[in-house]
Amino acid sequence: MDSEDQNGTTTNDFNQTEVAEFFLMGFSNSWDIQIVHAAVFFLVYLAAVIGNLLIIMLTTLDVHLQTPMYFFLRNLSFLDFCYISVTIPKSIVSSLTHDTSISFFGCALQAFFFMDLATTEVAILTVMSYDRYVAICWPLYYEVIINQGVCLRMMAMSWLSGVICGFMHVIATFSLPFCGRNRIHQFFCNIPQLLSLLDPEVITIEIGVMVFGTSLVIISFVVITLSYMYIFSVIMRIPSKEGRSKTFSTCIPHLVVVTLFMVSGSIAYVKPISNSPLVLDVLLSVFYTVVPPTLNPVIYSLRNRDMKAALRRQCGP
């Protein structure tokens, strides 16, 4: 028979200690810091949820926003709403209740959805940069190249790529024995921190998956960068200074958020795995878990003239 102790581990018939649950160590054990962390995360989460749901509502209801760009934006906002909801609510509750435990299945599920949505975000951001490239650099062919069928196929491939990547990471990680080590030095079940709990000799497959995934992120980042380079070259030829400034004011903040998301995520997944808690790891994770879903609505709504007009129309005269 299996016997379970208070540390969340189970001893089986072969006298091997297996992990039944994990403990998310988060930012600090100090009650005051945990309260501050919960309050900040709650406000950020509230802003992200309101912003993304507002974009989903406007791009769904307003007839003037039924274009490929806003179709992609609606998908991105729905994804960002799900993406930030995978990690932040659990972290807030853990800080307020002092209960940092998460079941083995719950941890695997959180890791799956996080990797699924993070991969899909990379794919959708790449698609959106391509959409803007075609719209600005090839305006006469835009409706032919970015038609409804192409939009649906690109979104389907983006979401499917996330599901495949999520399954690859979870199967390669959670099929391995954790052997009693169950303290995750992170505020959510993140793959690099989970790997630090495993024997380095058995994580070869997951390391390969991480390298493969990071390579795809780098390729996507190069594609996005090249798209914006072509876009900027066209923008510089616009005779109107006001026209250039309006386009730059939208493109540059978007590129900054994309860079923060992809670069911080890539660093977190390719740097050497540490067995000891590092504050840098937790802070770095904030840049690719919290910042993009929170800032994307600001960039695409508060700084977007069409979105402002749509909001006024929906609110009435």
Indicate the pLDDT class of residue 22, thresholds 50, 70 and 90: confident
Q: How far apart are CA 151 and CA 129, in angstroms?
A: 13
How confident is the model over 183-189, as a mean pLDDT?
Answer: 86
Q: Tell me the whole-structure pTM to 2 decimals.
A: 0.87
Residue 163 pLDDT greater than 90, yes or no: yes
Residue 1 is predicted with a pLDDT of 45
Residue 187 pLDDT greater than 90, yes or no: no
Residue 182 is predicted with a pLDDT of 82
Q: Which residue has the higher pLDDT, 9 or 33?
A: 33
Q: Which residue has the higher pLDDT, 12 or 54?
A: 54
Adjacent-strand bridge partners of 184 = 24
Q: Is 18 left (phi over 0), alpha (psi -120 to 50) or beta?
A: beta
SS (H, E, C) 147-185: CHHHHHHHHHHHHHHHHHHHHHHHHHHHCCCCCCCCEEC
- Mean pLDDT value across the chain: 83
Residue 111 is predicted with a pLDDT of 94
Residue 292 identity (one-letter amino acid): P
Residue 274 is predicted with a pLDDT of 64
Strands 17-19 and 101-103: unpaired
How confident is the model over 186-206, as a mean pLDDT?
Answer: 81
How confident is the model over 215-231, as a mean pLDDT?
Answer: 89
Residue 13 pLDDT greater than 80, yes or no: no
Closest CA to 25 of 15, 37, 17: 37
**pLDDT per position as a tens digit, 67-120:** 898 999 999 999 999 999 999 999 999 888 888 888 999 999 999 999 999 999
Adjacent-strand bridge partners of 9 = 19
Other CB atoms within 10 Å distance of the CB of residue 209: 20
- The proportion of the chain whose per-residue pLDDT surpasses 70, expressed as a percent, equals 88
Most confident of the ranges 124-138, 149-163, 194-208, 223-237: 149-163
Q: How far apart are CA 60 and CA 62, in angstroms?
A: 6
**pLDDT per position as a tens digit, 31-78:** 778 888 889 999 999 999 999 999 999 999 888 888 898 999 999 999
Q: How far apart are CA 192 and CA 165, in angstroms?
A: 15
Torsion of CA 310, 52, 78, 308, to 10 degrees: 20
| Lookup: tokens for 70 | 């806003």
Residue 15 is predicted with a pLDDT of 39
CA distances from 243 to 45, 123, 238 (A): 34, 29, 7
Q: Which residue has the higher pLDDT, 3 or 282?
A: 282
Residue 248 identity (one-letter amino acid): F
